[in-house]
Chain A
Amino acid sequence: MTWSWLAVVPITLAPLAAINLLSRREPAGRLVALAIPILFGLWLLWIWEVVVVGFDVPRILLPAPSQIGHQLVAQAGMLWADFQQTFLKSVLAGFAMGCGLGFLVALLTDRVAFLQRGLLPLGNMAGAVPVVGIAPIMVMWFGFGWESKAAVIVVMTFFPMLINTIAGLAAADRMQRDLMYSYGAGYWQTFFKLRLPAALTFVFNALKINSTLALIGAIVAEMFGSPISGMGFRISTEVYKMNVDIVWATIAVAAVAGSMFYGLLALLERALTFWHPSYRAEARNR
């Protein structure tokens, strides 16, 4: 019985050796660069499973990946409903409104310099403030539905968007602006042909930061009160019922949703700012 355990050792060590070998390959192709982290991730899951099963870790403390996977399949309907409530309603609505508002106010401050000098210090300060704390107030004002979560997200995502857009609009340098001026371009022509494209990298930076913030805001706000679905609601209720594997399944869904959201934004960024040096350098190295 004890001896059969030894079979685990080579299965554990083999991927490590493979990862090590692959890492040494020079130059690393795209496939190899992708294979290494995937192999490493699978190896982590394997170790997790071995440790949980081998040392008989209580299920409440840390469920095995296989148990979590089982819940993902068994509770798919419920998890989908939570995803709809949290992501498709609260996150998307709040994200669109918060980012849109931040962008519009940044455009406004671009025309009114006085406003910009007043808002920028406030925006920088907002970075140090735990804005999630407004969640109970918003739940009180807008009720338990998705509206209160969207409101929290609007406040959380507004300032990162504002600051980044303002920085982005200042990104086009003097020479380029002078060139536009010598072409006789007006404010809006310069804006659409030079400054907005130049600002896009900054705008996407804010969008990416905000995608994570939005999901966090929705989940935390749901802990202060929500209808009977939603990821934050699921996490906080199932943890009290000691169904830790369902909690982990919800977290897995949140992780996949967050990464996909981020990934889509990154793809969109690549499509819109293909001219940026960071992508050109990548293309040269390939």
Chain B
Amino acid sequence: MTTKSLVAGRALPLATVLLFVGVLWYLGAIFLNAPRVREQLDRGPQAWTTADLIAGTWSMERPVLPTPDQVLAEFWKTTAGTKIASKRNLLYHAWITASATGLGFILGGLLGIGLAVGIVHVRTLDRSLMPWIIASQTIPILAIGPMIIIVLGNIGVTGVIPKAIISGYLSFFPVTIGMVKGLRSPDPLQLDLMRTYNASASQVFRKLRWPSSMPFLFASLKVSVAISLIGAIVGELPSGATAGLGARLLSGSYYGQTIQIWSALLMAALLGMAMVYGVGGIERIALRRMGTRP
């Protein structure tokens, strides 16, 4: 590869930005952790140098800002270093959150598709329900999350279901909006052609509307899987939830375990990206099966 193509590509700029962020991070760690480390060193018997101070800020047990290598070390220790079924394993918590996310995502996706089909076919629903669905996008629905958890917990429903309900509730909006657009995307010429074939409504749906809505469906599924994850994490915040990434965040913030918070955040980020890429993978397979070329 020549120098020119390196500069024009994405790899080098991305690496530069990441390097910059990394340097900024280490400097920030020195700056933010220094006051407490200085206090500690002053209490010690020997005189200390700036090098001692910097080394101290990069290896605190409960730093204000942990360094990337501390986070990675903790991440490695709690994923590969402990037994997979143990409560100390981050993968176990990720699995708890991922299962709620997945269940909620499937529920929300099905509900979203169902509503969209109704809205496209039943005029009354289009006129009465659609404005409310759009308006509900502007409402911070996440606020209801903790209440659902506690209220359902009161009547004895606990575990994965309440979290999945929140995830599903959050994730069906993008799917409905996207699918309404998608199911209406065939142009009038194509719909007229179906009419000249004397196709019934269900045939038009199966052979024209559904296939042509696929790009819209997957675009909104990618958005909604990311929202599902947020829903599941927020669903783990209230009450004595002991497992899941949200619970890790909360217990980390109670006990000042910043490294634990950051590694849970890293896990959440990786999980989110994996899920979006997963949906992207399914999209590629589905589109190839349907005969579209990328």
Q: Chain A residues in contact with chain B, CB under 8 A?
A: 19-20, 22-24, 28, 33, 36-37, 39-41, 60-62, 114-122, 125, 127-130, 132-137, 139-141, 211-212, 215-216, 219-220, 223-225, 231-232, 235-236, 239-240, 244, 247, 250-251, 254-255, 258-259, 261-263
Contacts and interface: CB of A to CB of B under 8 A. Distances in A.
Given A127-B223, A141-B64, A223-B146, 7 more contacts: A37-B127, A116-B13, A219-B140, A225-B253, A239-B151, A254-B143, A261-B138
Best-buried of A36, A130, A139, A141 by chain B (most CB within 10 Å): A130
B37 to A, nearest CB: 17
A130 B139 contact: no
Contacts of A135: 249
A118 B135 contact: no
B140 A235 contact: no
A140 B258 contact: yes
B80 interface: no
A40 B18 CA distance: 51
A236 B18 CA distance: 37
Interface in B116-143: 123-124, 126-132, 135, 137-140, 142-143
A220 B234 contact: yes
B140 A23 contact: no
Interface of B: 7, 9-10, 13-18, 32, 64, 123-124, 126-132, 135, 137-140, 142-144, 146-147, 150-151, 154-155, 223, 226, 229-230, 233-234, 237-238, 245, 249-250, 252-253, 256, 258, 261-262, 264-265, 268-269, 272-273, 275-276
Pick the 10 closest A-B CB pairs, nearest first. Answer: A118-B13, A136-B253, A118-B17, A40-B128, A262-B138, A37-B131, A117-B13, A215-B140, A128-B276, A128-B272
A239 B150 contact: yes
Contact of A128 (B18, B144, B226, B261): B226
Contacts of B275: 128
Given A122-B17, A128-B275, A128-B276, A133 B249 contact: yes
A57 to B, nearest CB: 11
A247 B147 contact: yes
A130 B230 contact: yes
Given A61-B151, A133-B268, A216-B142, A122 B131 contact: no
Nearest to B245: A133
Max chain B CB contacts within 10 Å: which of A40, A41, A117?
A: A117
A164 to B, nearest CB: 14
B207 to A, nearest CB: 27
B14 A60 contact: no
A104 to B, nearest CB: 16
Contacts of A62: 151
Contact of A244 (B124, B147, B273): B147
Contacts of B261: 136-137
